[in-house]
Amino acid sequence: MRYVQLRAFHYVAISGGFSRAAEALFLTQPAISDQVRKLEEEYDILLFNRHKKQVTLTRQGQKLLEITHRMFDTEQQALDLLSETRSLRSGTLRIVADAAHHLLHILGKFREKYPGIQITMRGGNTETVIASLYAYEADIGVLGEIPEGRDFDILRLNSTPIIAFVARDHPIASRKSMSFEELTNYPLVMRERGSKTRHKLEAMAAGVGVALRPAIEAEGREAVREIVASGAGVGFVSEAEFGRDGRLVPVIIDAPEMLMDEALICLRERAGGKLVRAFWQVAEDVGPAA
């Protein structure tokens, strides 16, 4: 087994094909194919299913990818350590967040300090954030539930209560607060299953003997916001994420306070990466959003 063979396998796996792996490594496709073939022949193992132009990992290939992810990430951390004296002038930091709102005050400061760093951000619920970090598809996550276990480094950003909200012309828009029982008299617009906000909301309602049944279930916070703004029902969100939208009015839920802890997280084994450390330091320096 040679380093170049594992590298070829790794890039084919993460790129989704031999041609893309060759482009990423500045090699020819035959060279990449030959390296992967030799690795498979040497250990009498099939790492990829090859169907016409599609390439997918076999079960053994998926297990090997978990190992090479760690291997090449450790290699990158070593490179970062050896080149620590160089300023952060380039690179890409990948963030997956359940709500970008919690990062806005950090992103501005980070971009100001490291203008050469590209940031990619995508949304998702808590399950998506955790899965993306474990799969090495993201470097940093933002989520509304502190994960259990010792796999993650965690930096708390803020803690705010869950509130209801409706369109400005909704019948209950003038109400300052309402109980769960009262809210169930109106159509409820709720996040998809897997959302920690929904999970915490349903648990609290059940604790006071009320079952929350969504009339509309939508994937993503923005989808819920737009549906509620149309007047279709009552939505729920953490107070910090309500933001400023003249179409919407907040309604306090008359129940024991349900706090959503928003946190910055990363895999502990990847916390030493140069970009992750730089972003983490800025987040610690900036502190919670006002």
Does 99 lie in the same domain as 145?
yes
Predicted pLDDT at 288: 67
- Token readout for 96 is 């997956």
Same domain, 145 and 164: no
Question: Could you tell me if residue 168 is left (phi over 0), alpha (psi between -120 and 50 degrees) or otherwise beta?
Answer: alpha
User: Is pLDDT at 85 greater than 70 in this prediction?
Assistant: no
136 and 215 within one domain: no
Check whether residue 152 and residue 12 sit in a common domain: no
Q: Percentage of the chain surpassing pLDDT 90?
A: 54
User: What is the model's pLDDT at position 86?
Assistant: 56
Both 30 and 163 in one domain: the answer is no
**Is a pLDDT exceeding 90 seen at residue 183?**
yes
CATH number of residue 13's parent domain: 1.10.10.10
Q: Give tens-digit pLDDT for 234-268.
A: 999 988 788 788 999 999 999 888 887 788 999 99
Percent with pLDDT over 70 in the chain: 97
Q: If you average pLDDT over residues 48-69, what whole number do you get? A: 90
CATH of the domain at 108: 3.40.190.10
State the Cα–Cα distance between residues 195 and 201, nearest whole angstrom: 10
> Is the same domain home to 178 and 62?
no
Would you state the pLDDT for residue 40? 93
**Residue 141 and residue 235 in one domain:** no
Number of domains in the chain: 3
194-220: average pLDDT: 90
**Domain C-terminal end among 82, 114, 130:** 82
Mean pLDDT of 143-158: 82
**Residue 87 within a domain:** no
Which residue did the predictor score with more confidence, 120 or 219? 120
Q: Point out the domain boundary residue: 82, 108, 133.
A: 82
Report the pLDDT value the prediction gives residue 128, as an integer from 0 to 100.
86
Instruction: Kindly state the average pLDDT of the residues 16-24.
Output: 90
Do 46 and 114 lie in one domain? The reply is: no
Average pLDDT on 109-128 reads: 88
Q: Please, what's the b/e burial string for 111-138 (b: 16 or more CB within 10 A of its CB; e: otherwise)? A: eeebeebebeeebbbbebbbebbeebeb
Which structural domain range is residue 125 located in? 92-157+261-286
In a domain, residue 20? The reply is: yes
**Do 202 and 143 share a structural domain?**
no
Residues 266 and 145 grouped into a single domain: yes
Residues 135 and 55 in one domain: no
Model pLDDT, residue 84: 55
Query: Quick check: is 53 in a domain?
Result: yes
Last residue of a domain, one of 18, 50, 82: 82
- The angle, 0 to 180 degrees and rounded to 10, between the axes of the packed helices 3-15 and 59-82 is 110
With contact defined as beta carbons under 8 Å apart, do 268 and 134 qualify? no
Q: Does the pLDDT at position 10 exceed 90?
A: yes
Predicted pLDDT of residue 95: 94
| Digit-coded pLDDT (tens) for 33-50 | 999 999 999 999 999 998
Residue 116 within any structural domain of the chain = yes
Kindly tell me if the per-residue pLDDT of 289 is higher than 70. Answer: no
- The pLDDT confidence band at residue 146, using thresholds 50, 70 and 90, is confident
Mean pLDDT of the chain: 88
pLDDT of 99 strictly over 80: no
pLDDT at 224: 93
Give domain status of residue 57, yes or no.
Answer: yes
- Assess whether 163 and 153 both reside in one domain: no
